[in-house]
Chains A and B, each alone.
Chain A
Amino acid sequence: MSDDNPYALSHLDVLESEAVHIFREVAGEFERPVLLFSGGKDSIAMLHLALKAFAPAPLPFTLLHVDTGHNFPEVLEYRDRTVAAHGLRLHVASVQEFIDDGRLRERPDGTRNPLQTAPLLDAIERNRFDAVFGGGRRDEEKARAKERVFSLRDEFGGWDPRRQRPELWQLYNGRHAPGEHVRVFPLSNWTELDVWQYIAREKIELPEIYFAHEREVFQRNGMWLAPGDWGGPRDTEQVERRLVRYRTVGDMSCTGAVDSDAATVDTVIAEIAASRLTERGATRADDKLSEAAMEDRKREGYF
């Protein structure tokens, strides 16, 4: 630690304390919070922080997974095992159901990430959730850099970046009208590296696809995608076996693997630190759609 002071705290201690404070503020001020849990590393770190915030009592809220139907099996298995291990309650909002009953239509490009918004807002409305914890980080993406920790959503779930409340000190204003809700981002000030360092420090288990493994993949738009029921590969796309890992975990149709031999948390950390690409730039096709793709999705009510 660089500060020669008996009261010095590491950056992880400070970030952890801040995130726990945010969880407790929400538990103290809201009636029906829910935590978005995808089985991705950010939501896993977020759940770990939430469990610590309320121990030795159980988590005072439930979990919600917005399921695109294009899941990595390892991640679904991890999700169910974690829910069972901690005695949690999980809601699932299914994109597939919305497609089956005609409320949503499959996109021509096959990606389902943008389709998550409708089932998410439907689950929020049906369960009358008033606070929704998300694992979004401000370092992820430029529209997220302008996001508040407590982010008010109107009755349509929409985000208006020009009408955000100024957020001062550690005084979070969670007041909202009936029908509105607040998205809460406890990891706002964390970077990808912080999340990984925290996972290492706390010895948090992750789905194995975050670590190097051999997998059949094919190339599309400069990314390694995994074949699956979701529809890949096309006839012209060559499948090959490569040593890869995932930097982010989302819908299989638009989440790419990266070439990697990092098989442990420590080697993953070293790899990220040396990487010249952001995690979304390296692995997310949906953010490459336009300069303001994320802002547009957030305005509609996306995570």
Chain B
Amino acid sequence: MTALDSLTDTAMTATSLLRFATAGSVDDGKSTLVGRLLHDSKSVLADQLAAVQDASLRRGQEAPDLALLTDGLRAEREQGITIDVAYRYFATPRRRFVLADTPGHVQYTRNMVTGASTAELAVVLVDARNGVVEQTRRHAAVAALLRVPHVVLAVNKMDLVDYAEPVFAAIAQEFTAYAASLGIPDVTAIPVSALAGDNVVEPSAHMDWYGGPTVLEHLETVPVVDDPSHAPARFPVQYVIRPQTAELPDFRGYAGQIASGVLRVGQDVTVLPSGRTSTIAGIDVLGRGVDVAWAPQSVTVTLADDLDISRGDIVVPTEGAPAVTQDIEGTVCHVADRPLTVGQRVLLKHTTRTVKAVVKAVPSLLALDDLSLHADPGQLAANDIGRVVLRTAEPLALDAYADSRRTGSFLLIDPADGTTLTAGMAGEAFEGGRGGIGRCADR
């Protein structure tokens, strides 16, 4: 296949979409890896490369600095650091990719949590010469905390350790064991040299002992869809569609994006928090009537009965409906500059519902490097991860984050100025209770 054929294939074929995040510092070669992925998949176009070359030359660098592809802000270019998550897009004939490139140093936890929150896969980079270091453990912990389903360990700079298998094997083993203790279900370790291009897009000629996929091959083939039929259905109502036209005087459709599971026409459903019940009469997927729809489709649902339903309600199967609660315990990452304190009044946004809440307790602070817990910190500062106990003004149908990233997550918002304070995950922090204390209050 010629390059042009493959590009045309990319253009013409419907493909799946993978969202993934990269974590690692500049020293690990993250920018080089990202640049290599973009460059070798032909996603960097001539004018972008020329702009990067010009900018690199002006700074006295001979080789184009591929970090400049993603460091788009003036302040980032001036200081030579990445400040904010950058989103990059590239495609191969097999798949479309959305890459959240998270910076290594400034506001590191906040940015990696943000990038990981929507990622289905996280690439953690280590330098083969240094192996698993404190930062690697922090990256793994964030990926585990955010329940990123797949983790890739890219052992980079293999060229600097003579492409030696034992070096790779020892690092891979140590990391995989650590990841398993955090409950990360799927780790794929790949020996690479981002600089030389080994095992990033093309298989390496220097590591015959490695029989696995390149980074890109793995990204192209890792399954992106969990079977939604295994998850309980959750349908948060975003908006009520009422045309009130001559043709449709009585139409009431509940518009929303299915957060998890499968909805079927004829299914008995309960509307939370009210507890009223009905049956699904019709499902419309953006102009197409269907019998079955699933996450993450945006749909409009009609019910057999005329109920009082509004934005913020959640439609769930009557069988296995979750309990509603006003007492929430969870792990949070504090993302605002001002601290979160006990007694603070906040707004809590969960799916499409925003309610008043108060911080009842901050029982512990979690140290990401060794996962040790520090009791009663009193408050959480920017980039702290800790446990919080909340009481809400109204009941919520909250799932454990371990069961559903979509219906187990919430934001705390400052009611005074709307600042996003805290990213929250209901229930235990890690699989098996490591790093967590106690359980989701409603379970």
Listed in ascending order, the chain A residues whose CB lies under 8 Å from chain B are 1-3, 5, 7-18, 20-21, 24-25, 27-28, 52-58, 138-139, 141-146, 152, 161-162, 164-171, 173, 175-177, 188-189, 191, 193-194, 197, 266, 269-270, 272-278, 281-282, 291-292, 295-296
Of B8, B51, B245, B405, which is within 8 A of A270 by CB?
B8
Number of interface residues of B (CB under 8 A): 87
Flag if A176 contacts B418 (CB, 8 Å): yes
- B66 CB to closest chain A CB, in angstroms? 13
Q: Is B275 an interface residue (CB 8 A)?
A: no
Flag if B16 contacts A142 (CB, 8 Å): no
Flag if B47 contacts A269 (CB, 8 Å): no
Flag if A11 contacts B224 (CB, 8 Å): no
Given A168-B411, A169-B409, A146:B89 Cβ within 8 A: no
Flag if B74 contacts A197 (CB, 8 Å): no
Q: 13 more A-B contacts (CB under 8 A) besides A165-B419, A295-B73?
A: A8-B16, A9-B297, A12-B14, A14-B17, A21-B238, A54-B241, A57-B251, A169-B423, A175-B347, A188-B87, A189-B87, A193-B10, A277-B47
- B240 CB to closest chain A CB, in angstroms? 9
- A41 CB to closest chain B CB, in angstroms? 16
Within 8 A of A (CB), among B1-43: 4, 7-8, 10-12, 14-17
Flag if A162 contacts B83 (CB, 8 Å): yes
Flag if A276 contacts B46 (CB, 8 Å): yes
Convert B53-87 into 0s and 1s, putting 1 for each residue whose CB lies closer than 8 angstroms to a CB of A. Answer: 00100000000000001111111010000011111
Q: Is B435 an interface residue (CB 8 A)?
A: no
> Which residues of B are found within 8 Å of A52, using beta-carbon distances?
286-287
Nearest to B116 among chain A residues (CB) is: A168
> Which residues of A are found within 8 Å of B110, using beta-carbon distances?
166
- A143 CB to closest chain B CB, in angstroms? 5
Q: Once the chains are docked, how many angstroms separate the CA of A281 from the CA of B49?
A: 11
Of A161, A166, A276, which is within 8 A of B335 by CB?
A166
Q: Once the chains are docked, how many angstroms separate the CA of A187 from the CA of B426?
A: 30
Flag if A281 contacts B225 (CB, 8 Å): no
Q: Is B129 an interface residue (CB 8 A)?
A: no
Interface-facing stretch out of B93-101, B149-157, B317-325, B386-394:
B93-101
Of A25, A161, A173, A273, which is within 8 A of B73 by CB?
A161
Flag if A21 contacts B118 (CB, 8 Å): no
- A1 CB to closest chain B CB, in angstroms? 6
> Which residues of A are found within 8 Å of B96, using beta-carbon distances?
11, 191, 194
Q: Is B229 an interface residue (CB 8 A)?
A: yes
Within 8 A of A (CB), among B103-138: 110-111, 113-114, 117-118
> Which residues of B are found within 8 Å of A5, using beta-carbon distances?
223, 225, 227
> Which residues of A are found within 8 Å of B73, using beta-carbon distances?
143, 146, 161, 292, 295
> Which residues of B are found within 8 Å of A25, using beta-carbon distances?
238, 352
Of B55, B86, B248, B257, which is within 8 A of A21 by CB?
B257
> Which residues of A are found within 8 Å of B411, using beta-carbon distances?
168, 171, 173
Question: Which secondary structure dominates chain B's binding surface?
Answer: mixed
Flag if A17 contacts B86 (CB, 8 Å): no
Convert B276-291 into 0s and 1s, putting 1 for each residue whose CB lies closer than 8 angstroms to a CB of A. Answer: 0000000000110000
Flag if B72 contacts A165 (CB, 8 Å): no
Flag if B11 contacts A272 (CB, 8 Å): yes
Given A24-B256, A168-B423, A276-B45, A291:B298 Cβ within 8 A: no
Flag if A170 contacts B118 (CB, 8 Å): yes
Q: Once the chains are docked, how many angstroms separate the CA of A27 from the CA of B240?
A: 10
Q: Is B243 an interface residue (CB 8 A)?
A: yes
Flag if A291 contacts B89 (CB, 8 Å): no
Nearest to A147 among chain B residues (CB) is: B87
Given A10-B14, A24-B238, A145-B87, A55:B287 Cβ within 8 A: yes
Flag if B12 contacts A277 (CB, 8 Å): no
- A208 CB to closest chain B CB, in angstroms? 22
- B48 CB to closest chain A CB, in angstroms? 6
> Which residues of B are found within 8 Å of A167, using beta-carbon distances?
114
Nearest to A272 among chain B residues (CB) is: B11
> Which residues of A are found within 8 Å of B163, using beta-carbon distances?
none
Flag if A295 contacts B72 (CB, 8 Å): yes
> Which residues of A are found within 8 Å of B338, using beta-carbon distances?
none
> Which residues of A are found within 8 Å of B89, using beta-carbon distances?
138-139, 189, 191
> Which residues of A are found within 8 Å of B86, using beta-carbon distances?
145-146
Of A2, A142, A168, A177, which is within 8 A of B15 by CB?
A2
Convert B393-422 into 0s and 1s, putting 1 for each residue whose CB lies closer than 8 angstroms to a CB of A. Answer: 000000000000110011101000111100
> Which residues of A are found within 8 Å of B420, using beta-carbon distances?
165-166, 168, 173
- A96 CB to closest chain B CB, in angstroms? 32
> Which residues of B are found within 8 Å of A272, using beta-carbon distances?
11
Of A13, A57, A138, which is within 8 A of B241 by CB?
A57
- B382 CB to closest chain A CB, in angstroms? 11
Q: Is B345 an interface residue (CB 8 A)?
A: no
Q: Once the chains are docked, how many angstroms separate the CA of A141 from the CA of B417?
A: 30
> Which residues of B are found within 8 Å of A296, using beta-carbon distances?
74
Q: Once the chains are docked, how many angstroms separate the CA of A14 from the CA of B73?
A: 29
Q: Is B296 an interface residue (CB 8 A)?
A: yes
Q: Is B228 an interface residue (CB 8 A)?
A: yes
- A28 CB to closest chain B CB, in angstroms? 5
Q: Once the chains are docked, how many angstroms separate the CA of A191 from the CA of B8?
A: 15
Flag if B225 contacts A171 (CB, 8 Å): no
Flag if B84 contacts A161 (CB, 8 Å): yes
Q: Once the chains are docked, how many angstroms separate the CA of A11 from the CA of B224?
A: 11
